[in-house]
Amino acid sequence: MMNDSILIVDEEEEFRESLKVILEHHYQVFTAESDEEALGIIENYNINIILLSFDTSDAKGVEFVKKAKEINEDIDIVLVSYLGILRSLPGYLRLGTSLCITKPTEGAHFICFLKEVLNKQRFQKESHRLRSDSRKSHSFGQIISKDREMRKVFNIIKEVASTPTSILITGESGTGKELVVRAIRYHGNRKDKPFVVVNCGAIPSELMESELFGYEKGAFTGAQTRTVGKFEHANGGTLFLDEVSALRLDLQSKLLRVLQEKQIQRIGSNKTINLDVRVIAATNVHLEKEVKEKRFRSDLYFRLNVVPIHLPPLRQRRNDIPLLAQFFLEKYSKEYNKKVEGISPKALATLCTYSWPGNVRELQNLVERLVVLSRYNRMISLSNLPIELFMDGEEFTQEMEEIKDDELGLTKVKEAFEKQIILQALEKTNWNQTEAAKILKIHRNTLVKKLTRLNIRDKA
């Protein structure tokens, strides 16, 4: 904390010096008798907090606050007063000052107060940095990442965007495969041409052929009009085949022929239609394994996999979690007209340790839920997070591994679960056992016994 600097502004030398004695073991402390002297210090030093005496009812100090903020807009100004609410107070508060109603007599309490102010300051700086990062250097189209493997993906997109070659994108569900497809289209020479998405896993297999290639009137029962298929709709542009592994083998054969000959025939027609379609496929299935087990044609696999792009899961690029969380926070705060400014350091640390089986989509959905449910919260705190995030930490996973083959596995699983619940309550209350016991709805003595039994020790 010695890197944090505090400036005490007060006409009374005795008060300045007494307050300095309280603070100088924790912070670098400057003192000033007048506003002019204080402004000179602010210009020459990086001051985090100004402790401003507030013992008069005039608004003279408001001008000092304005000038101090002009020099350093990130500085926090705390009004310190023996008195209650005074006439000029609203003018100060509109400028973003904090208020400490009585001049400090108990050093420990005042240190805690300043610590909260500095934590808020660090939090705001980190939030600002994350906003800047997500908007500038770490974004590519709608994809946000500073991960090394993702930067390689960005480079591949740049190289292939304007070529007609086929691309196969692989990765777990929720990793952002469609965003990569859209980035390829946007950075290529087909961005103003048709873009058609086909979810091969969502369309019944018996309808897939007519969806892809279209059909003539009377081609089958119910075909009352000529219908254009997805390939024709995408002619000149891009066709994205999502979950391509879901195609039946006979349709895989027909798709291969279309890719090779660049022609299609509608069902019920002998007329050949020439195509200029850039095909991009994606799957969350291990296609090489599907080929080995004869569920996916090897020739189609090689035809689609001319340029492979693999998206790593979110748990393998944890440095992206703060960037993505901040991006989604801003997006949904604006969308739902909420004033959520950021995520507390402890809550963010919890997000970064979770394994995210649903990847970026799961993170996006969680942040949206947190924003929607926020009422008066200006930041997302640890207590706002769902319990399942705490059941997925490395310690919990390690304990599960250790008891996997134990005869008393069920008992130990219950203990591991109980331990995580207690730890969560303790984290929420800054390890205040009385408050944690209230959250857990147990007597404090019961909590103490559980801490001993579960070998939970207070953070030193």
Q: What contacts 366, CB < 8 A, 6 or more positions away? A: 386
CA distance to 7, 130, 344, 381, 404, per residue, from 378 (Å): 27, 17, 10, 9, 42
* pLDDT tens readout for residues 217-235: 888 888 888 899 999 999 9
In degrees and rounded to multiples of 5, residue 227 shows phi and psi of -130, 130
Per DSSP (E only), the strands in 285-387 are 307-310, 342-343, 379-380
CATH of domain 140-312: 3.40.50.300
Name residue, tokens 């901040």: 326
CA dihedral 436, 438, 439, 445 (to 10 degrees): 50
Q: What are the tens digits of pLDDT across the range 261-299?
A: 999 999 998 899 999 999 999 999 999 999 999 999 999
Cα separation, 349 vs 168, whole angstroms: 34
Residues in the chain: 460
Of 3.40.50.300, 3.40.80.10, 2.40.160.20, 3.40.50.2300, the CATH number of 5-134 is: 3.40.50.2300
Would the pTM of this model clear 0.85, i.e. be above it? no
Tokens of 48: 């985090």
Question: Can you tell me which residue has the tokens 């095909």?
Answer: 279
Q: Residue 303 and residue 423: Cα distance in Å, rounded?
A: 52
User: Which two structure tokens, joined as six digits, stand for 67?
Assistant: 């000038």
- CATH number for 393-460: choose from 1.10.10, 1.10.1200, 1.10.150, 1.10.3470: 1.10.10
Percent of the chain with pLDDT over 90: 40
Count of other CB atoms within 10 angstroms of residue 133: 17
Domain layout of the chain by residue ranges: 5-134, 140-312, 315-381, 393-460
Gap between the Cα atoms of 156 and 168, Å rounded: 12
In order of 84, 101, 133, 241, the CA distances from 309 in angstroms are 64, 60, 24, 14
In whole angstroms, what is the distance from residue 460 CA to residue 458 CA?
6
The per-residue pLDDT string of the chain (460 residues; one tens digit each, 9 = 90 and over) reads: 457 888 988 888 887 888 888 888 888 889 998 888 999 999 988 888 888 876 544 456 778 888 888 888 778 887 776 554 444 444 554 545 555 545 555 566 667 767 777 777 676 666 666 666 555 555 677 788 888 899 999 999 999 999 999 999 999 999 999 999 999 999 999 999 999 999 999 999 889 999 999 998 888 888 888 899 999 999 999 999 999 999 999 999 999 999 999 999 999 988 999 999 999 999 999 999 999 999 999 999 999 999 999 999 999 999 899 889 988 998 999 899 988 878 888 788 889 888 999 999 999 999 999 999 887 667 788 778 887 786 665 544 554 455 454 444 556 656 766 777 788 778 777 788 888 888 787 888 888 888 888 888 765 4
**Which fold, 315-381?**
Helicase, Ruva Protein; domain 3 (1.10.8)
Strands 379-380 and 342-343: parallel
pLDDT of residue 305: 95
Q: Give the integer Cα–Cα distance in Å for 287 and 304.
A: 11
Rounded to the nearest 5°, which phi and psi values hold at 53? -65, 140
Alpha helix locations (H) across 161-188?
A: 177-187
- What gap in Å lies between CA 169 and CA 284, rounded to an integer? 9
Instruction: With beta carbons less than 8 A apart as the criterion, state whether 271 and 226 touch.
Output: no
Q: Give the C-alpha separation, 385 to 389, whole Å.
A: 7
Backbone angles phi, psi at 425, to 5 degrees: -65, -40
Q: What is the pLDDT of residue 258?
A: 95
Asked if the domains at 5-134 and 315-381 fall in one CATH topology, the answer is: no
